Amino acid sequence: MSDGAVLHVKGRVLVGPEDVRDELWVVGGRICHDRPVGARDVTTVEGWALPGLVDAHCHVGLDAHGPVDADTAEKQARTDREAGALLLRDAGSPSDTRWIDDRADLPKIIRAGRHIARTRRYIRNYAWEIEPEDLVAYVAQEARRGDGWVKLVGDWIDRDLGDLSACWPRGAVEAAISEAHRLGARVTAHCFATDCLRDLVEAGIDCVEHATGLTDDLIPLFAERGVAIVPTLVNIATFPQLAAGGESKFPQWSAHMRRLHERRYDTVRGAYDAGIPVYVGTDAGGSLAHGLVGAEVAELVTAGIPPVAALSATTWGARAWLGRPGLEEGAPADLVVYEGDPRADVRVLTAPRRVVLNGKVVQ
């Protein structure tokens, strides 16, 4: 397509869960709901169209060993793009990926800065590793560097204890979250277990990643405070393998990880039923491959979330939560076209027919 070309998307366009149209147009890289006057050089794409999918927990610029070079980061971003994930919330990365913002052919990224972890309580080469007295300063630093988010490591294995435990005292997280909010940033935290959750939520946290430790007594607190969760079920599927690897050295931790895995679907469904906002994220970029956004939506449906709600968790609802537009008039034309109706079978999300980014069909 030339810069002056017009793209015509026809078939069924899911502007919103209840707003289904027969067509939309793309002019100058922007959404137009009405046919532009005098449209020429028109390219037509047919199918079922959705806003570009959201992966609200991924890590561009990171692999299992730490930061990666720009070529590897580009491949990661391209893989997400080919899967239809055109808006990524990068939930912690030690790499500087700002150069991606200048690439119209790569997904848009909302960054949470670098992970902030307790000393020797996270994966090597990933995070700033600090003590509680420095937490406020590092949160302020990452709030200024990020795109409106900060990422804490709320719990991790305590090698002396031999199991997961909270990383931060209550007073430290209260002060840190307050500082992030003062600077206009929201805060999320990696949390597998239960014992860190109440302190984080009562301290005002905005989101919890994984949230496998949610319990019946904590779910009402999350719902009352409006704290979102991003379950990353495609990552939680790896817990049995992780548990097996740590069995001989940390049997208590291994057993704990298996229990969290076994009740993962009940946990997510219980959260959804209670009104907790649930969003799609894959945790790609550590040891997990990129491009799994469709698989994560299918996992939410397996957990018992209705298909349209699971779709919203990666499209309309997720974009509104992150403050980014969908297929509204004048919005950047980031959309994905499928063969079939994703509301009838979310598995079609794993095979996009066409990906349109900034108004251009990606070849």
Query: What distance in Å separates the CA atoms of residue 298 and residue 288, rounded to the nearest whole number?
Result: 17
Query: What distance in Å separates the CA atoms of residue 301 and residue 272, rounded to the nearest whole number?
Result: 11
Query: What distance in Å separates the CA atoms of residue 188 and residue 90, rounded to the nearest whole number?
Result: 11
Residue 120 has pLDDT above 60, yes or no: yes
Which pTM does this prediction carry?
0.97
Residues 82-118 pLDDT 10s: 999 999 999 999 999 999 999 999 999 999 999 999 9
- What confidence score (pLDDT) does residue 82 get? 98
Contacts for 269 with CB less than 8 Å, ≥ 6 apart: 303, 304, 305
Which tokens go with 334?
């980031």
Question: What fold characterizes domain 6-50+326-361?
Answer: Urease, subunit C; domain 1 (2.30.40)
CB atoms under 10 Å from CB of 44, counted, come to: 11
What is the rounded average pLDDT for all residues in the chain? 96
Query: What distance in Å separates the CA atoms of residue 350 and residue 335, rounded to the nearest whole number?
Result: 14
Fold match, 6-50+326-361 / 53-321? no
Residue 4 has pLDDT above 90, yes or no: no
- What does the DSSP assignment read for 163-209? EEEE-S-HHHHHHHHHHHHHTT-EEEEEE-SSTTHHHHHHTT--EEE
130 in Cβ contact with 142 (< 8 Å): no
Contacts for 33 with CB less than 8 Å, ≥ 6 apart: 21, 24, 25, 329
Residue 286 has pLDDT above 50, yes or no: yes
Residues 26-75 pLDDT 10s: 999 999 999 888 777 899 999 999 999 999 999 999 999 999 999 999 99
Average pLDDT over residues 17-33: 95
Place of tokens 């209705």: 306
CB atoms under 10 Å from CB of 252, counted, come to: 13
Report the SS3 class of residue 145. Answer: helix
Query: What distance in Å separates the CA atoms of residue 18 and residue 3, rounded to the nearest whole number?
Result: 32
358 in Cβ contact with 6 (< 8 Å): no
Query: What distance in Å separates the CA atoms of residue 191 and residue 166, rounded to the nearest whole number?
Result: 9
Contacts for 133 with CB less than 8 Å, ≥ 6 apart: 172
Residue 1 has pLDDT above 50, yes or no: no
Average pLDDT over residues 200-217: 98
Which tokens go with 318?
């997720």
Contacts for 314 with CB less than 8 Å, ≥ 6 apart: 53, 54, 55, 56, 279, 280, 293, 296, 297, 349
Distance of CA 191 to the CA centre of its chain: 15
Nearest C-alpha neighbor of 267 from the set 334, 320, 197, 362: 197
**Rounded to the nearest 10 degrees, what angle do helices 264-273 and 251-262 cross at?**
50
Average pLDDT over residues 128-139: 98
Query: What distance in Å separates the CA atoms of residue 319 and residue 82, rounded to the nearest whole number?
Result: 19
- What confidence score (pLDDT) does residue 363 get? 76
Q: Domain ranges for the chain, please list them.
A: 6-50+326-361, 53-321
- What confidence score (pLDDT) does residue 41 get? 85
75 in Cβ contact with 349 (< 8 Å): no
What type of residue is 283? D
Distance of CA 19 to the CA centre of its chain: 24
46 in Cβ contact with 10 (< 8 Å): yes
Average pLDDT over residues 277-303: 97
Does 53-321 carry CATH code 3.40.1110.10? no
Residues 314-362 pLDDT 10s: 999 999 999 999 999 999 999 999 999 999 999 999 999 999 999 999 9
- What confidence score (pLDDT) does residue 2 get? 47
Query: What distance in Å separates the CA atoms of residue 216 and residue 171, rounded to the nearest whole number?
Result: 25
